[in-house]
Structure 1
């Protein structure tokens, strides 16, 4: 004997057929040319395939053990040549976990339902402080007539006569590589293994019907645009009355006329006349709580504007922003000041401004290049030269 087939498979001479099959599967996965690009992978794959072809056939194995030629000059190395104990299914088993000839069995009529997504628009205040909404959902529910079975009565379901309850039918084809067995879902029972002779008159065998129902949704405080809230088991009921999927509520926050939001921070603009910006003032700002009818919080919050504030500067009110979704406390309210210059003056106002310009030596002011904003780069350079 030129080769030791047992050594090629890595099994003992007393190995059982199952042990040899397991060893061959392992080697086939390692040596197949499609997954192994080593120069000798193809030759080694042919050798172990020939070894398994011989040892998996009881008659060829007996001839080999007596020292004879088990291939009889016919099947050559790697021929997959139709031995009684070897077929192309064994290679398929090696790569697909035993799927070549084994049956997957019938699939259950009872399956989990699909998840559903629903978009819900809320106001900015509702997103900030939370809200409870009742929504209407068109979804699949269990058929009350058949309780999800899909049959009009208990005796209406019988074993499929085409697949005999297996849920699939198999077909064997002869190829140059040997016999190839394929399986596909039974066309009669669609893979269930049983046939409903008298389907439910309400759901027509599906076990579920479409219906509109009400769901109460609690939106937690601090949610933002695009936040998704999961409602477990509130999605569609599955075929055959199977468990329901989940319902996801995606929050859409409507635009607010005053406030904009960035994370847990609120921002707004306050426009002041030139005189108020120069002299300083007090401003009462509306709060976000004022948008909620049942909210006990303050409707306004005071803002002290210091004298000499410039347009574009910001003032911060701590703890007047959006409540944090995960964690205690609230963000801040950032107020941007916009100084408005009067565009229409009467004679008296014009005279007063001329007097102010003379007192401040600003009758013929020199234009300044760059930003004069406090804390800017130009301002710091100017201060350094001073």
Structure 2
């Protein structure tokens, strides 16, 4: 392979640092002995590494451009064997760069900031059906990170400023050298002394241990719009976890869970209920005062808490009568769904002598003393409503 470092990486002599790094990653992926099938892959990979070691360092690159060779051996390394991997911290192989090259990722470089945005938080709120249908404003307790009240987020006990870490010299990371059969391998990790910040707090806050935030339970008032259902989420910006160093708070998401109702069953924007009525009322027809969902609201008008249902004569068990505009308000749009009332006709089980005689006379008049049952074909209409009605009892 050519000893011209620019030619090895495939870049021009005026290539910038980003272009050189991108070319190195591409070549490293192609030439790495564990990836390439080329029998000379090890030697070519050594040349790629040497070329990058020189061209990525401004001083070495300037020396090379002036006709010199930082390695003193035509760019082929001065350690023998896999020359570009030896030579201590300066001429050694940076394992982090290899990982970046192999997986197309770029590791973070330099210290991380002490002040960062906090994470988003998720809490759950339980609602009654009426609260979900008509909306409600109610408080909720949230356990999240808040700004430390002692240091106001600075992390310092006496308000002092952070000082440069003596271990990493402000770099936020340290390099370890490990010897292997291919030479010295360097790995870079966050500085254990400053945890990657590049600086340390000389007198950290005793309340938050220098983090600038503490855990606390606070109460937030949540406004729930009308028409929500289980699984809907309310987004509250800047009400989540406060970030490290007193950084800006993340967002809070309130997930809603609507409890089942003992009378009404919700079906989208519709409400369904089952009403039992006597056999005679179903035969003769009647009017029923049906409770509405507004009956669960303590401040609702008395007139809105019931609605009159007109039951026509001859109503059969399983009949559903719909009342428009008495269901759940539609979320993000006007109007309301239906209130569906399924009627169950009750046959009397306890009769006195007079009632039994009157029914016997009615049967004789209707010629039903020995009726023949009528076989009905299966249908999803009446049978389906009856099945649902009995299931909701």
| TM-score under structure 1 length normalisation | 0.80
Compared CA separation, residues 370 and 283, structure 1 to 2 (3 A): same
Residue aligning to 1:206: 211
Compared CA separation, residues 160 and 81, structure 1 to 2 (3 A): closer
Residue aligning to 1:237: 242
Q: Contact 2:47/2:76 (CA < 8 Å) preserved in 1?
A: no
Residue 121 of structure 2 is aligned to residue 116 of structure 1? yes
Residue aligning to 1:181: 186
Count of aligned pairs: 366
Deviations 1:14-70 (A, max 9, x none): 576956664342233356576x7xxx7444855753553575668999799xxx997
- Cα offset, 1:95, TM superposition: 3.0
Q: Contact 1:27/1:48 (CA < 8 Å) preserved in 2?
A: no
Which residue, out of 160, 174, 184, partners 1:155? Answer: 160
Residue 25 of structure 2 is aligned to residue 25 of structure 1? yes
Compared CA separation, residues 237 and 350, structure 1 to 2 (3 A): same
- Cα offset, 1:344, TM superposition: 0.9
Residue 351 of structure 2 is aligned to residue 345 of structure 1? yes
Which residue, out of 262, 268, 273, partners 1:268? Answer: 273
Compared CA separation, residues 99 and 258, structure 1 to 2 (3 A): closer
Compared CA separation, residues 367 and 49, structure 1 to 2 (3 A): same
Whole-angstrom CA distance in 2 between matches of 1:142 and 1:73: 55
Whole-angstrom CA distance in 1 between matches of 2:355 and 2:188: 95
Deviations 1:195-216 (A, max 9, x none): 2221223333221233343321
Structure 1 residues not aligned, in runs of 5+: 378-386
Residue aligning to 2:372: 366
Compared CA separation, residues 364 and 72, structure 1 to 2 (3 A): closer
Residue aligning to 2:390: none
Q: Contact 1:9/1:51 (CA < 8 Å) preserved in 2?
A: no
Residue aligning to 1:322: 328
| TM-score under structure 2 length normalisation | 0.79
Structure 2 residues not aligned, in runs of 5+: 55-59, 384-393
Which residue, out of 313, 323, 330, partners 2:319? Answer: 313
Compared CA separation, residues 256 and 73, structure 1 to 2 (3 A): closer
RMSD: 3.7
Name which of structure 1's ranges 361-370 and 20-29 shifts more when overlaid on structure 2. 20-29
Whole-angstrom CA distance in 1 between matches of 2:23 and 2:99: 14
Residue 285 of structure 2 is aligned to residue 289 of structure 1? no
- Cα offset, 1:375, TM superposition: 6.6
Matches within 5 A, 1:209-220: 209-220=214-225
